[in-house]
Amino acid sequence: MTSAQVDTSEKDSGASGSPAGSEAPEEGYERGLGSRQVQMIAIGGAIGVGLFLGAGANIAKAGPSLILMYALAGGIIFFIMRALGELLLYRPVSGSFAEYSREFLGPFFGYFTGWTYWLMWVVTGMAELTAAAIYVHYWFPAIPQWVTALVFLVVLFGVNLISVKVFGELEFWFSMVKVTALIGMIVIGLGVLTFGFSSAGDTASVANLYQFDGFFPKGVGSSLMTLQGVMFAYLAVELVGVTAGESENPEKTLPKAINTLPWRIALFYVGALTVILCVVKWTEFAPGVSPFVAAFAKIGIPAGAGIVNFVVLTAALSSCNSGMYSTGRMLRNLADSGEAPAVFRKLSASKTPALGVTVSVLFMGIGVVLNYVVPEKAFGYVTSVATAAGIWTWLMILISHVLYRRAVDAGRLPASSFPAPGGAVCSWIAIAFLLFVTCLIAYDADSRICLYVMAGWAAALGVGWLVLKNRSPEVTERRERAPEKVS
């Protein structure tokens, strides 16, 4: 551990009132997340509602070329995660994105990033609640979407208040269901392709990837326009950074979780979509319907579609569960920095930021209202806002990484034990890609509204910063970290 980490530990311990020598001296949190839980949180973060539900609309727009879009975006996500990994092993702290923005770009960027990441998870939670309600509607069409969304919101809220161990264990099993089911889907799909069994066996073929108007049936431009939805599917992979303050051994668990990302993307996104689109031609998929549910209905396995529907329901609940976890931690990080009300610094008896989770859940409740007012549009609205907020977070990770590498090269900071391959070059490539996706969002009339929302959000945060600067000017001033001895 570097001296920077020791300094941070002492600071955070004092902030949270956790005495020296307590179970979690760094920040007052309980070190309750073991290796298997961190691994599954990382895997689960790469398998969410963006794949299980959002892929249906994207297949309709791009056809088989969506596979290439997921592979392209997946490569960029790996660049982002390796950049984050290098920063995490330089200084592992909970609320990492805001902390690194604060250190390398200044207090305002830490403040803006922390609150924007909080917004991302709040609206992502809304999206997951909406998706979960849609899945339950498959079995019980008479139950209104908003009722189901409210029930799930309350149940997951209770789980997050108990302890981080309960959260980690629930997330472990949520992720285990998703992983096992996806592997099962791939194996069954390969069986249909190879042996031709089931009602889909006669038409299942690799030729389905190109014989219906080609690999790019709607044109390259239409395929590129799906990148905004594809990027939403990858939101939450950075969640392992938030777990740094509650992982038992972040120096070992975090690199392992990040380095497994390429095969997770290759298997669960590229692999699963390739098999699905070989088994069922792309023209049979439609927006608002999970392509996995539709594929298994086509295959005709008894209760298969219902089983897959249960799996995608767990995926939605998993992501919403993660959202509640991360929002509470981010609010506490902001409070520790004086950028949110000090009351959010308090931990409950179970060492969870209960008040931060509670406030976040109340805002997620807006998703329940959207499901009541505009159930058919709720998912699209919130996913576009979440994507825009996620892009900002990723940009801050990448820019912080570029500045960190400059400081290391200049001898001002110690090198991380987990350097990103390619150094800052890969981060620059990822920055250019994210700016390109932002331009695509601005070009698309349906998703452009999220930029208006983000502009309003930026204005609100700007006003909040001015108020903070007036009341607590010391909070808004850059605080240089103590110089370190670099060997």
Q: What DSSP line would sit under 152-167, residue for residue? A: HHHHHHHHHHH-HHHH
Split at pLDDT 50, 70, 90, the class of 23 is very low
pLDDT at 283 over 60: yes
Q: Which residue has the higher pLDDT, 170 or 339?
A: 339
- The whole-angstrom separation of Cα 3 and Cα 131 is 45
Split at pLDDT 50, 70, 90, the class of 411 is very high
- The whole-angstrom separation of Cα 328 and Cα 175 is 21
- State whether the Cα torsion 294-295-300-302 is positive or negative: negative
pLDDT at 48 over 80: no
Query: What distance, in Å, lies between the first and last C-alpha atoms of the chain?
Result: 14
- The whole-angstrom separation of Cα 279 and Cα 269 is 15
- The whole-angstrom separation of Cα 114 and Cα 132 is 27
Split at pLDDT 50, 70, 90, the class of 66 is very high
pLDDT at 310 over 80: yes
- The whole-angstrom separation of Cα 376 and Cα 378 is 6
pLDDT in tens, 178-193: 888 888 888 988 988 8
Beta strands in 164-265 (DSSP E): none
- Least Cα distance to 292 among 277, 19, 429 occurs for 277
Q: What is the rounded average pLDDT for all residues in the chain?
A: 80
Q: Which residue has the higher pLDDT, 330 or 436?
A: 436
Determine the average pLDDT of the residues in 383-403. Answer: 90
The whole-number pLDDT of residue 95 equals: 60
Three-state DSSP class for residue 238? coil
Number of Cβ within a 10 Å radius of residue 259: 15
Can you state the angle between helices 304-336 and 354-373, rounded to 10 degrees? 130
The whole-number pLDDT of residue 247 equals: 63
Residue 144 half-sphere exposure toward CB, CA atoms < 13 A: 11
Least confident of 5-19, 67-81, 95-109, 430-444: 5-19
Least confident of 94-98, 185-189, 260-264, 294-298: 94-98
Least confident of 95-99, 123-127, 176-180: 95-99
pLDDT at 199 over 80: no
- State whether the Cα torsion 135-139-144-149 is positive or negative: negative
Query: What are the tokens at 340?
Result: 């949110």
The whole-number pLDDT of residue 14 equals: 38
Split at pLDDT 50, 70, 90, the class of 19 is very low
Determine the average pLDDT of the residues in 312-319. Answer: 82
- The whole-angstrom separation of Cα 27 and Cα 96 is 13
Determine the average pLDDT of the residues in 233-261. Answer: 73
Split at pLDDT 50, 70, 90, the class of 5 is very low
Least confident of 122-136, 211-225, 245-259: 245-259
- The whole-angstrom separation of Cα 250 and Cα 243 is 9
pLDDT at 376 over 80: no
With a CB cutoff of 8 Å and minimum separation 6, the contacts of 326 are: 117, 121, 239, 242
- The whole-angstrom separation of Cα 88 and Cα 284 is 44
Q: What percent of the chain has pLDDT over 90?
A: 25
* Dihedral Cα 163, 164, 170, 174, nearest 10 deg: 150
pLDDT at 270 over 70: yes
Three-state DSSP class for residue 33? strand
Q: Which residue has the higher pLDDT, 122 or 51?
A: 122
- The whole-angstrom separation of Cα 478 and Cα 376 is 46
Q: Which residue has the higher pLDDT, 187 or 482?
A: 187
The whole-number pLDDT of residue 472 equals: 85
Task: Report how far Cα 144 is from the mean position of its chain's Cα atoms.
Answer: 27
Can you state the angle between helices 66-90 and 96-104, rounded to 10 degrees? 70
Split at pLDDT 50, 70, 90, the class of 386 is confident
Split at pLDDT 50, 70, 90, the class of 123 is confident
The whole-number pLDDT of residue 16 equals: 37
Q: How big is the chain, counted in residues?
A: 487
The whole-number pLDDT of residue 426 equals: 96
Determine the average pLDDT of the residues in 19-33. Answer: 45
Q: Which amino acid is at 189?
A: G
How much of the chain is in helix, strand and coil states, percent to nearest 5? 75, 0, 25
